[in-house]
Structure 1
Amino acid sequence: MTHSAPLPTPPRRTRRIVLIGLAVLGLAGALYVVRGPLMMSAPRCMAGRWHGCFDTFNGVVLMTLVALPLSLLMAGALALRRRAAGVAPAWRLSLAEVGMVHGTVPFLWLTMMPGAAPGIAPARVSLVPLRDLVTMGTLGIVGNLLVFASLGFFAPMRFAASASLPRVLALGAGCSILVETAQYVFQLDRVSSVDDVLVNTTGAALAALASRHWWRTRGDAPSDRPRPAMASAA
């Protein structure tokens, strides 16, 4: 009686290609859904106008997407430089560094965007947990989850010191508290809410769990430095 041979496990490279393909399809689908609002801001953004582009949600999202190829080129350049210097893993470190910046700065820009009466309306604080959560709506909750999602996803991949869930929670909470404090100090006509901190921190933690397979360990720490040349045998 002959036994059929077990199916070979797909190589890691094949799985990576499939995941990248699914990510590209997902991004393309999302762009197709939001193409209308984004194109409304395109003329002003392409002309470099502040009003109607950099002070609007659609404009900031559009410029973030336009800058994506530049960020990928930057990550590639950093990775090639690291590989030439013998630093490993070059791609993981480079993508993590660029991803943290590209995925966090636009959301910080949006959260620090002033309201209708900056400097005139009194600073407002909401310290009762879950009171503002019911008024955020689905879009508001999703947006707050994404504010520090890139930081939570990439920071443990780049820094071994942050590669634990409690530390990611502390990092997300600390950054969110700084943002809410800045909104209050600069009187941006926005509400500094404890619910924003809770949702921002949750988003960072969920993103960190999603990247847990690639977290950096203490044993990886020396790999940031160029590998010393092997001494020739005597």
Structure 2
Amino acid sequence: MHQAWNAWGYVVIAAVLALPAAALVALLLAHVRSRRGHPAPRRTAVADVAVVAGTAPWIWMILTPGTLQLVHLVPLVDLADQITLMSPGAAFVQIAGNLLVFSALGAMLPVRSARFASLRAVAAVAAAASLTVEVLQYVLRLGRVSSVDDVILNAAGAVLAALVTRRWWARR
């Protein structure tokens, strides 16, 4: 865990310091949408800002150059290697981190728009976003591991987060 903090602590600190600005942006966005007659100005403003604020730090971490350029295209092999070859703490950080990457997106997308008010839609959007990030890691030659298992975990995390917020969007 100490190694993870040394590698990514600055991202966490920057994300926490950005929260007051994010709250202000949500308030201003809600105000503008309200004046324009938007049907749900506060809910959509909070959802939009939460998606950006909750996803941007993870994307920052993912697109930071590393030292190991690999591609894993066979599902669950990379995940099995993480579980069996890494220390339990490192495996936990890696798996939990992948589950959290698009969790804000999964939690807020159905709250934001009825078009995405299904777990299937959330999974599709999160998988597409995750695939885009994995392809960018490879194409930009960032020295990162591009893995189909990351796409699976990212989409699963978004779906789990959508389940957490389901009571806010399922009734619409």
TM-score tier by shorter-chain length is 0.7 to 0.9
Structure 2: tracts of 5 or more residues without a match: 84-90
RMSD across aligned positions (CA): 2.2
SS at match of 1:132: helix
What does residue range 176-191 of structure 1 map to in structure 2 within 5 Å? 176-191=130-145
Q: What code does the residue aligned with 1:158 have?
A: R
In 2, distance between residues paired with 1:215 and 1:142?
Answer: 25
Q: Quote how far apart the aligned CAs of 1:216 are.
A: 7.5
Partner residue, 1:74: 25
1:104 aligns to 2:55 (yes or no): yes
Query: What is the distance in 1 between the residues matched to 2:40 and 2:124?
Result: 26
Equivalent runs, 1:48-67 vs 2, <5 Å = 56-67=7-18
Q: Which residue identity does 1:152 align to in structure 2?
A: G
TM-score (norm 1): 0.64
Task: Find the aligned partners of 1:173 and 1:87 in 2 and give their Cα distance.
Answer: 29
Gap runs ≥5 in structure 1: 1-33, 41-55, 220-234
Please state whether the residue corresponding to 1:100 is helix, strand or coil. Answer: helix
Residues 95-130 of structure 1 deviation map (CA, whole Å, 9 limit, x = unaligned)? 0010111111111110111113xxxx6x42111222
Among candidates 110, 128, 131, match of residue 77 of structure 2: 131
Question: Which letter does structure 1 place at the counterpart of 2:151?
Answer: V
1:125 aligns to what SS in structure 2? Answer: strand
Matches within 5 A, 1:164-179: 164-179=118-133
Question: Is 1:200 aligned to residue 151 of structure 2?
Answer: no
User: Once the two structures are aligned, what percentage of the paired residues are identical?
Assistant: 44
The aligned amino acid for 1:127 is L
2:141 and 2:41 map into 1 onto residues whose CA distance is 42
94, 102, 117: which one aligns with 1:163:
117
Cα distance in 1 between the residues matched to 2:170 and 2:17:
30
Instruction: Count the aligned residue pairs.
Output: 162
Which residue among 197, 212, 221 is the counterpart of 2:166? 212
Give secondary structure in 1 for the equivalent of 2:146.
Answer: strand
Q: Does residue 88 in structure 1 map to residue 39 in structure 2?
A: yes
Contact 1:125 1:193 in 2 (8 A): yes
Aligned to 1:8: none
Task: Write the distance in 2 (CA, Å) between the matches of 1:152 and 1:73.
Answer: 22
Letter in 1 for 2:148: V
The amino acid of 2:158's aligned partner reads A
Taking CA–CA contacts closer than 8 Å with sequence separation of 6 or more, which of the two structures ends up with the larger relative contact order?
Answer: 2
Deviation at 1:147, TM superposition (A): 0.4
Structure-2 separation of matches of 1:170 and 1:179: 14
> TM-score normalised to the size of structure 2?
0.85
Larger Rg belongs to:
1
